[in-house]
Amino acid sequence: MHITMVPGYQGSPPEQWQSRWEAELPNVTRIAPSSWDEPELEDWMTALDRAAGDQHGDTVLVAHSLGCLAAAEWLLRNPHGARGAFLVSPPDPVAASFPQPAGSFRNPRLQQLPVPGLLIASESDPYCALPAAEAIAAAWKLPVVNAGELAHINEKSGVGYWEQGRDLLTAFTAGLGERAPLG
């Protein structure tokens, strides 16, 4: 099974858990949109087509922040495009903290996703209060894991490698059947 990394607004620096996992896991592709700093939804859809589309459905989308909104939209457009979605710290699209340059992401489709998924949220995320994350998960029909007080679960929150998240991903992918990429 393949992993498609979908970082959020401004990408994922080397010290962020997505980059660290990507460096050690086999069979990982990261999306490559035209701009991480001036994100456009259609451009990110094309980037997901390139990164995940070639896997013929045998991939798991591992998304963070704005990448969660992109991953959900891509799955709604490509219902057989992935085996699952591991979504971490989606931003609240109606919050004042939503990144201004990401306006094309502001009205996500909040409907059941066509694949199994898991949404991980923090009690202290400055971009999405826990009740908002729970509402997004409910709309997507996904279970929520409350990761505790981990801010935005990124490099600035001090989670480093984020072992808890890696364990959750291992369990999630194992539950999808066949061979799990994290063995």
Q: What percentage of residues in the chain have a pLDDT greater than 90?
A: 94
Which residues lie below 8 Å from residue 109, measured CB to CB, with a gap of 6+? 72, 73, 76
Q: Give the residue extent of every domain in the chain.
A: 2-175
Domain 2-175: what homologous superfamily? Alpha/Beta hydrolase fold, catalytic domain (3.40.50.1820)
For position 1, what pLDDT does the model report? 84
Strand pairing class (59-64; 117-121): unpaired
Which amino acid is present at 172?
A: F
pLDDT of residue 5: 98
**Confidence band, pLDDT 50/70/90 cuts, at residue 177:** confident
